[in-house]
């Protein structure tokens, strides 16, 4: 080979090196975040901070070595299948799905992309996993025991209003496990209390539900866990105050916003674990090998200011059990 031809050949090879090296480098991983709720606000900002903290503990920082594509259904559950399919078409490396509705949509959209779910009441019953200990497929995550905790919320509210003969249950007709009704009715029978079921899937239906509460002379209200109802937190708390209805909720931010009492999981701590699970999977762990986690500690928050406004005296036994008392 002549020297001139060799130099041309060598130069051509060097031009191709950068693209070859780029091809060998792994692209920045992408997480698809699928949520039935609305986009981040002051209501859920601490939850997303905890998620990013969990990712950071596994070495991932959004914008540096990780990208996150967010999809919000804005509590319109019919949008979730299309949003999940869109994330799959984007070839994300992992999907984080929030609540049962989002988790089912994600599962139906892919059998290969790893999925970490959060806020699911009965993962095996929904067909998301084979079992809690051995998920067995491309999904794993965190249960919120939403159904199991409902009778406990009823009992706590009964302690606050022992004279109540009617305590209502508010559910979103578009999203609630049927078992909630049966478990709550059993708890109500044990206390000799009537349990009317009120359904609200729109803001106007929430207003109508509270009008019905007044007509029923209800002595209390149990609000079921649901992304739509969570997104209407301020409306629910304001109506409960306006109509002087003692109510119990599933997350502490209801009590912090003026609700009477809340009892449920520490969703900030759980979202940190979700971030950790996501990071571990991105590093090579398989969802099938990561057991579904269930909460072991729960938060009881009592708002004394609201109790006084309602003319209620909080039993000392309840105050001693409270994780936080708001005055």
Examine residue 13 and state whether it is found in any structural domain, yes or no: no
pLDDT-based confidence at residue 26 (cuts at 50, 70, 90): low
- Listing DSSP states for 63-126 in one string gives TTTBEEEEEE-TT-GGGHHHHHHHHHHTT-SEEEEEHHHHHHHHHHH-SSS-EEEEEES-TTTT
Residues 155 and 215 in one domain: yes
Residues 121 and 179 in one domain: no
What's the residue count for the chain?
327
- Start-to-end C-alpha separation, the chain: 89
pLDDT in the model for residue 8 = 45
pTM of the model: 0.86
Residue 248: φ, ψ to 5°? -120, 145
Examine residue 233 and state whether it is found in any structural domain, yes or no: yes
Examine residue 294 and state whether it is found in any structural domain, yes or no: no
What domain count does the chain have?
2
Residues 158 and 240 in one domain: yes
Residues 168 and 121 in one domain: no
pLDDT in the model for residue 43 = 56
Examine residue 313 and state whether it is found in any structural domain, yes or no: yes
Q: What is the CATH number of the domain that holds 62?
A: 3.40.50.2300
pLDDT in the model for residue 6 = 45
| Per-residue pLDDT tens over the stretch 148-182 | 899 999 999 999 999 999 999 999 998 887 888 99
Examine residue 24 and state whether it is found in any structural domain, yes or no: no
Dmax over CA atoms of the chain, in Å, equals 103
Question: Which domain, by its residues, includes 240?
Answer: 146-264+299-326
């Amino acid at each position: 080979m002549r020297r001139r031809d060799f130099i041309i050949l060598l130069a051509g090879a060097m031009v191709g090196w950068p693209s070859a090296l780029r091809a060998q480098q792994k692209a920045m991983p992408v997480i698809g975040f699928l949520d039935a709720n609305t986009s981040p606000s002051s209501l859920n900002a601490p939850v997303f901070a905890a998620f990013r903290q969990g990712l950071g503990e596994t070495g991932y920082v959004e914008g540096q070595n990780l990208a996150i594509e967010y999809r919000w259904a804005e509590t319109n559950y019919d949008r979730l299948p299309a949003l999940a399919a869109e994330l799959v078409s984007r070839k994300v490396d992992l999907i984080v799905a929030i609540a049962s509705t989002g988790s089912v949509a994600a599962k139906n959209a892919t059998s290969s992309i790893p999925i970490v779910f959060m806020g699911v009441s009965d993962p095996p019953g929904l067909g998301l996993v084979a079992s809690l200990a051995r998920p067995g497929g491309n999904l794993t995550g965190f249960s919120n025991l939403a159904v199991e905790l409902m009778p406990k919320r009823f009992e706590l509210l009964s302690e606050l209003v022992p004279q109540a003969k009617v305590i209502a249950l508010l559910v979103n007709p578009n999203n609630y496990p049927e078992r909630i009704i049966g478990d709550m009715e059993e708890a109500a029978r044990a206390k000799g209390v009537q349990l009317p079921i009120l359904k609200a899937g729109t803001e106007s239906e929430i207003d109508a539900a509270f009008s019905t509460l007044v007509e029923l002379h209800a002595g209390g209200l149990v609000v079921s866990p649901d992304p739509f109802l969570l997104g209407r937190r301020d409306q629910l708390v304001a109506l409960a105050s306006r109509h002087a209805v003692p109510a119990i909720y599933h997350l502490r931010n209801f009590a912090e916003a003026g609700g009477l009492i809340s009892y449920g999981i520490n969703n900030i701590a759980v979202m940190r674990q979700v971030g950790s699970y996501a990071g571990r999977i991105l590093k090579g762990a398989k969802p099938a090998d990561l057991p579904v986690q269930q909460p072991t500690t729960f938060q009881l928050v009592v708002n004394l200011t609201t109790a006084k406004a309602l003319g209620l005296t909080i039993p000392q036994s309840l105050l001693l059990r409270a994780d936080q008392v708001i005055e």
